[in-house]
Amino acid sequence: MSALHDISVADLARRLKSRDVSAVEVAQHFLARGEAHGDLGAFLATDPEVTLAQARAADERIAAGDAAPLLGVPIAHKDIFVTRDFPTTAGSKMLAGYRSPFDATVVRKLAEAGMVTLGKLNCDEFAMGSSNENSAWGPVKNPWDTRRIPGGSSGGSAAAVAARLAPAATGTDTGGSIRQPASFCGITGIKPTYGRASRYGMIAYASSLDQAGPMARSAADCALLLSAMCGPDPDRDSTSLDTPAEDFTRALGGSLEGLRIGVPREFFGEGLAGDVRAAIEAALQQYEKLGARRVAVSLPRTELSIPVYYIIAPAEASSNLSRFDGVKFGHRAKQYADLLDMYRKTRAEGFGEEVKQRIMVGTYVLSHGYYDAYYLQAQKVRRMIADDFRRAFAECDVIAGPAAPTVAWQLGEHGSDPLADYLADIFTLPASLAGLPGMSIPCGLGAGGMPVGLQLIGSWFQEGRLLNAAHAFQQATDFHLQHPEGLS
């Protein structure tokens, strides 16, 4: 019989339902495993007492005949979601020791589904980064090669799932922070259409871009998790869409015969590494064997997505992070002369360098005399990027390409060149700016034996079609079953 950490979310749920294993036994197994591999830096906070209490409650529900599909299955949450039972820091000293009086809607929904929380996962500070090296609590290491980054900002989530420290995790995606770390760590992750999952209780970076999503080993597992996470939340989140929750598992198993897969020529330029290109090409050929048809499409403003994103996102961050001033909650400087001095010292001490940099950029582009020249123009180009996707989806059903230009790079490799991190987001940013659903699935190994992720992008509200396309690929291949060596 397979070890508990080698079992999928769906299989684990079936074993729990049949009472082959108890939720307490499963929780104990993963808690021990997380402690044994603490050197990866994936977890920021655990509380076995809280976790085991949730597991006992799940066992009671199972004994009473409750058949919820995720009942008793463990999950870990990115530390960007506020939680009552665990501290929430957003990877920042600014929130060291902070305890929220409520749970984020996504956390609450998954708890109501019966999932058991293992703890909180490391992330780039306030979700700002592509490598998980910006956390105030230290970097996360990629379990495939601990000298490399796991991707960011949901690097702790990706590493935890890849290392089998948790069967599933929550992540957030602002410009690719689910898809890129999923690619680098060889797991599956999906960002739904903007507004599908509530942002209530998700510490804001860029409000018009931030979106929660699940990270797991397979599309089938992500479909289960996404079904529980999504749904309207009008009383708490004004950006939540009035779209009923769906059972995304119903979309799985459909034929790909005749599916039109759009391949944007802009995703295959000079910046794409040869090993990644080869893995993506092999994946596209596999789709053709499954009955899909390749269609050439164009997303002509792909390169503009980088300057557009790095104007809009910092601008919104500048506004969102103004609340961290030492007055109501979070860090406060111990010594200061007056109120203004307290603001200055608190923010200087509490924020890391990347966060300060983005706040300064955002404040600049929103300032008098620059708003029209930068922020307003960026919003206009953002709409054009969405229009490019509309035209492309008139010719295809799903868009496919790389999730990142390269495999995961070495820790510290981009330390002297912050723009290199920004450029690594070029393939994930366009879908985020358009508010589209997107996912990454493992499709091979590249240089150094590191995972390569295939990005699939769907039209608005087409998560079911995306998940079915990913599931069909995973039924025909075993890339999603591969895992790092030395972590038994």
Average pLDDT of the residues in 435-453: 98
Report pLDDT digits (tens) over 208-264.
Answer: 999 999 999 999 999 999 999 999 999 999 999 999 989 999 999 999 999 999 999
Residue 299 has a pLDDT of 98
CATH of domain 4-256: 3.90.1300.10
Examine the residue annotation and report whether 177 is marked as an active-site residue of this protein: yes
Q: Give the amino acid at 450.
A: M
Decide if pLDDT at 1 tops 70: no
* CA 145 to each of CA 20, 58, 115, 484: distance values in angstroms, whole numbers, following the listed order: 34, 35, 30, 8
Q: Are strands 74-78 and 188-191 parallel, antiparallel or unpaired?
A: unpaired
Alpha-carbon distance of 457 to 265, in angstroms, equals 15
The separation between the first and the last C-alpha atoms of the chain, rounded to the nearest angstrom, is: 14
- List the catalytic residue out of 153, 198, 240, 318: 153
Alpha-carbon distance of 21 to 373, in angstroms, equals 61
Report pLDDT digits (tens) over 272-300.
Answer: 999 999 999 999 999 999 999 999 999 99
Residues making up the chain, counted from first to last: 488
Report pLDDT digits (tens) over 167-184.
Answer: 999 999 999 999 999 999
- List the catalytic residue out of 8, 78, 130, 131: 78
Average pLDDT, the chain: 96
Other Cβ atoms less than 10 A from the Cβ of 236: the count is 14
Please check whether residue 106 is in contact with residue 201, taking contact to mean a CB–CB distance below 8 angstroms. Answer: yes
11 against 421, higher pLDDT: 11
* CA 416 to each of CA 187, 413, 419, 421: distance values in angstroms, whole numbers, following the listed order: 29, 8, 9, 11
424 DSSP assignment: T
* 3-state DSSP assignment of residue 187: coil
Q: How sure is the predictor about 419, in pLDDT bands with cuts at 50, 70 and 90?
A: confident
- List the catalytic residue out of 177, 240, 305, 432: 177
Residue 2 has a pLDDT of 72
Segments making up each domain of the chain, as ranges: 4-256
Name the strands in the sheet holding 74-78, side by side, starting at the edge strand that comes first in the sequence. Answer: 43-45, 116-121, 74-78, 168-173, 211-216, 188-191, 438-445, 451-458, 398-402, 260-264, 293-297
Examine the residue annotation and report whether 255 is marked as an active-site residue of this protein: no
Examine the residue annotation and report whether 153 is marked as an active-site residue of this protein: yes
Please check whether residue 456 is in contact with residue 466, taking contact to mean a CB–CB distance below 8 angstroms. Answer: yes
